[in-house]
């Protein structure tokens, strides 16, 4: 089975109302691949904080109710995503951030992809455009 690192920008597509979000079909197909045991998702523990914060922001913008956000968080948690401690990724993430001018947050996902010999799939087109030519990063929209 192939491991794939996903960042919170992909998981948000699984959680928020589809009329507001782009790339929902691609994110749902990625999720379907996981359910068919074709791929296994891998995330750093930062993923959970970023997802919770994205859902909190959606509540503040009145895009989703607090109850629906809590259900969405439970839905993603119940997927059983393999989670890696960020502390183990920070040294490499730091080097990536400094070298490529990206945030340490984003670089944690890239470091995990590199360490696991897999690929990061992100809905963040700017991140993908900045790194895809040199690092294992792929834009969700290219799937």
Q: What is the pLDDT along the chain (143 residues), one digit of tens a residue?
A: 799 999 999 999 999 866 667 899 999 999 999 999 999 999 999 999 999 999 999 999 999 999 999 999 999 999 999 999 999 999 999 999 999 999 999 999 999 999 999 999 999 999 999 999 999 999 999 98
- Torsions phi, psi of 80, nearest 5? 70, 40
What tokens appear for 75 in the block?
A: 């839905």
> Which CATH number do you get for residue 77?
3.40.50.1010
The number of distinct structural domains making up the chain is 1
Quote the domain boundaries for residue 65. 2-142
Residues in the chain: 143
Cβ-proximal residues to 72 (8 Å cutoff; 6+ apart), any chain: 14, 15, 16, 55, 64
């Amino acid at each position: 089975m192939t491991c794939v690192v996903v960042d919170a920008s992909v998981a948000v597509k699984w959680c928020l109302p589809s009329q507001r979000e782009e790339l929902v079909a691609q994110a749902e197909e990625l999720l379907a691949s996981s359910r068919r045991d074709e791929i296994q998702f891998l995330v750093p523990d930062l993923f959970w904080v970023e997802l919770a914060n994205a859902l909190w922001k959606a509540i503040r913008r009145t895009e989703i109710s607090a109850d629906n956000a809590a259900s969405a968080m439970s839905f993603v948690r119940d997927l059983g995503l393999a989670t890696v401690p960020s502390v183990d990724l920070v040294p490499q993430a730091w080097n990536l951030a400094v070298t490529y001018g990206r945030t340490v947050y984003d670089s944690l996902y890239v470091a995990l992809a590199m360490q696991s010999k897999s690929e990061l799939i992100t809905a963040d087109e700017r991140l993908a455009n900045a790194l895809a030519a040199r690092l294992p990063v792929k834009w969700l929209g290219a799937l």
